Amino acid sequence: MVCRRIRAEDFRNIAECDIGFSDGINIIYGKNAQGKTNLLEAVCLFSLGKSFRGVKENEFIRFERPATSLGMDYFSAGRDQNIKLMFSRSHKRVIEKNGVGIQRMSELIGSFRAVLFFPEHLNIIKEGPSMRRSYLDVAISQLRPFYLKTLQQYNHILSQRNKLIKNAPSDRKSFDTTVEFWSYQLAQKAAYITQTRINYLEAVSAEVKRCFAEMTGEKEVPDLCYSCCFKIDEHLLSDRERLAETYFSQLMSNHDREIAFGATVWGTHKDDIDIDLNGKSARIYASQGQQRSLALSMKLAEGSISKKDTGEEPVLLLDDVFSELDASRREYLTEKMKNGQVIMTACGGIDPGKTGAKVIFAEDGRFSEQGSYTLTEIVPG
């Protein structure tokens, strides 16, 4: 997978740009607030179908401008392909892949596959469960369009069920007559989501073990394991029908508690990943350095699983990650970066050199390509 070019017009502080990338390492380099992350956000939009900053489309249209348009040429599945996007303040949008119009952004996901890594990801071990769920959801969605679809259906059913719960104190009758229907629907989707996450996480756990051993060279063994929000017998996890039945009976018990809480208490929107190091919770006992190594391994695992699944190395997008890592982790990451295309931002630490990475200078929303640098110069010893 290679991002060959990106064009953007009126995207954040970028009035206009047309940038070619090399199929190796690309560094978007410049001082603060010049538009480096904005450019990376634009690239990322093609893979996530939304901003990694979690903002609405209107926010990335350039101030005072009516619309933004973006285009990407990329190489995948043995051929050159392209995607065009246009978003306007009046909510008009155009999505086109290889010249064919597409209705929803979610239908694009999986076309241009990338692994995004930014400094907040380094906190994945100690942050709340939503970041860990989102790690799974983003990674799996790029590989399984059906998973993304099911996730969207789940969220829709969940919001219907939550509405019902919220209205229950004043309208208990509607609740009593329809709760079974919504609980059944939710349980069906939950069973599929849980199983898919568990399968994916098994692959992640194996990769993380391997990476972690390579990186730290220590005798510590990490283990990642799916954690349901209520106790489920292990033997039920592999049987989708019985898993759905278990979710259903959980959702049909304790309605008073859900009504008091005002929302659905059980489901995959409450699940988590347990991350252990030598059998102890990494969140509680691991040092900051160990937590960072685990986080880095999880990101690299995402890349290797994508490669195994699709036969193509995904593009690695790094926003200011290097400055957050110490020398040994930088070195390890640099080694891994040799496998595929990397687009990263940096605001210091490189000197002009000979060959290697392509450097793109960012200044006030404009970008200029200025020669190549050696990798060792990006990553000082």
Ligand X SMILES: Nc1ncnc2c1ncn2[C@@H]1O[C@H](COP(=O)(O)OP(=O)(O)O)[C@@H](O)[C@H]1O
63 binds, among ligand X, Mg ion, none (CB under 5 to 8 A by kind): ligand X
Beta carbons within 10 angstroms of residue 77's beta carbon: 10
Q: What count of other Cβ atoms lies within 10 Å of the Cβ of residue 35?
A: 25
Radius of gyration for the chain, computed over Cα atoms and rounded to the nearest angstrom? 22
Task: Pick the binder of ligand X from 3, 6, 26, 37 (CB under 6 A).
Answer: 37
Q: If binding is defined by CB under 5 A, does position 38 make contact with Mg ion? A: no
d(CA 113, CA 82): 13
Least separation in angstroms between residue 89's CB and ligand X is: 11
Q: Which residues contact 298 (CB under 8 A, 6 or more apart)?
A: 124, 135, 204, 208, 224
Contact flag: residue 37 with Mg ion (CB under 5 A): yes
The two three-digit tokens of residue 15, written as one number: 């009035």
DSSP, collapsed to helix, strand or coil, labels residue 243 as: helix
Check residue 34 for interaction with Mg ion (CB under 5 A). no
Contact between 335 and 211 (Cβ < 8 Å) = no
Stretch that binds ligand X, among 54-62, 76-84, 248-256, 265-273 (CB under 6 A): 54-62
Measured in Å, how far apart are the chain's first and last C-alpha atoms? 29
Closer to ligand X at the Cβ: 180 or 363?
Answer: 363
Q: What whole-number distance in Å separates Cα of residue 171 and Cα of residue 262?
A: 13
Q: Is 12 in the site for ligand X (CB under 6 A)?
A: yes
Minimum separation from the CB atom of position 84 to ligand X (A): 20
> Which of 57-65, 93-101, 196-204, 260-268 is the region at the interface with ligand X (rule: CB under 6 A)?
57-65
Within 30-164, strands assigned E span 67-76, 79-88, 93-97, 100-101, 114-117
Residue 60 contact among Mg ion, ligand X, none, beta carbon within 5 to 8 Å by kind:
ligand X
Nearer to ligand X, 180 or 364 (CB): 364
Nearer to Mg ion, 33 or 327 (CB): 33
- Binding of residue 141 to Mg ion (CB under 5 A): no
CA 353 to chain centre: 33
Q: How many CA atoms lie within 13 A of 119 on its CB side?
A: 10
Structure tokens given for 337: 């970066």
- Assess 38 for contact with ligand X (CB under 6 A): yes
Q: Does residue number 269 form part of the binding site for ligand X (CB under 6 A)? A: no
Q: Between residues 186 and 357, which has the closer beta carbon with respect to ligand X?
A: 357
Closer of 37 and 185 to Mg ion (Cβ):
37
Rule CB under 5 A: say whether 341 interacts with Mg ion.
no
Residue 36 binds to ligand X (criterion: CB under 6 A): yes
Does 26 bind ligand X (CB under 6 A)? Our answer is no
Give residues with Cβ within 8 angstroms of 80, minimum separation 6: 4, 73, 74
Helix (H) or strand (E) holding 226: strand 222-227
**CB-side neighbour CA atoms (13 Å) of 95:** 14
Q: C-beta of 118: minimal distance to Mg ion in Å?
A: 9
Task: Choose the one of ligand X, Mg ion, none that binds residue 348, judging by a C-beta under 5 to 8 angstroms depending on kind.
Answer: none
From the CB of 265, what's the least distance to Mg ion, in Å?
38
Which residues would be at the binding site for Mg ion (CB under 5 A)? 37
Question: Which residues are near ligand X by CB under 6 A?
Answer: 12-13, 30, 32-38, 59-63, 345, 362
